[in-house]
Amino acid sequence: MEACHRRPGTPGVGKTTLGKELASRSGLKYVNVGDLAREGQLYDGYDEEYDCPILDEDRVVDELENQMSEGGVIVDYHGCDFFPERWFHIVFVLKTDNSVLYKRLETRGYNEKKLKDNIQCEIFQILYEEALASYKEEIVHQLPSNNPEDLEDNIDQILKWIEQWVKDHSS
Ligand code: DAT
């Protein structure tokens, strides 16, 4: 299970889809940490078992610091325990039913081992617990992400939250 934390693979719950759509509708910036790491080669070694590079978390944080201090950024990643707590006003963890998730990952060409590990990761809700352990409970929200209706609902809800946040913080 430990590898779930370290592996920079994406579990396919819809983070990128939601993040990009939100950014386009809200005008906020969107950062995909996986892409950022790939572009800057922000890696620290290679995980042979999972056949993927290991994220250099410190360098990722350094790379994002200026942008995050300015604010207005949607950060897309499957883990969150290495980001400074002060960076985030709200944290969303997407949840997809296992049967739906399995089909999505199969479509991506994941092999049997990768499929099993990702599904296990989902079952144990590791990432949700990680979020709860890393941020104040009241800012961590779990959202369903099974179908296009869920996506629309999530976008609507989050846009409302952003609008309210801006109102509350403009004086
Ligand atoms: P992630 O960034 O978490 O890896 P993604 O945004 O790339 O996930 O989405 C994985 C696939 O699932 C992609 O083909 C789009 C699809 N998808 C995302 N959200 C969905 C939703 N709410 N309903 C149906 N399909 C969805």
In this predicted model, what pLDDT tens digit does every residue of 21-30 receive, in sequence order?
A: 999 999 999 9
The span from the CA of 4 to the CA of 50, in Å, is 10
pLDDT at 46: 92
pLDDT of residue 39: 97
Helix (H) or strand (E) holding 104: helix 98-107
Q: Per the structure block, which two tokens stand in for 65?
A: 């610091």
Q: Whose CA is nearest to atom 21 of ligand 1?
A: 147
Query: Which residue's alpha carbon is nearest to atom 14 within ligand 1?
Result: 104
Question: How confident is the model over 8-25, as a mean pLDDT?
Answer: 84
Structure tokens at 118: 């990702």
pLDDT band at 68 (very low <50, low <70, confident <90, very high): very high
CB of 125 closer than 6 angstroms to any ligand 1 atom: no
Residue with tokens 């009241």: 138
100, 104, 155, best to mutate for ligand 1 pocket (most atoms within 8 Å of CB) = 104
Chain-wide mean pLDDT for the chain? 88
Between the CA of 134 and the centroid of ligand 1 the distance, in Å, is: 25
pLDDT digits (tens, 9 = 90+) for 107-152: 888 877 777 777 766 655 788 889 999 999 999 999 999 999 999 9
Residue 56 to residue 62: CA distance in whole angstroms: 10
Distance from chain centroid for Cα 161: 18
Ligand 1 in reach of 120 Cβ (< 6 A)? no
**Res. 103 pLDDT band, cuts 50 70 90:** confident
Q: Is the CA virtual torsion 122, 127, 132, 136 positive or negative?
A: negative
The tokens of 82 are what?
A: 């290495």
Does the Cβ of 42 fall within 6 Å of ligand 1? no
Residue where the block lists tokens 């590079």 = 53
CA-wise closest residue to 93 among 60, 126, 115: 126
153 CB near ligand 1 (under 6 Å): no
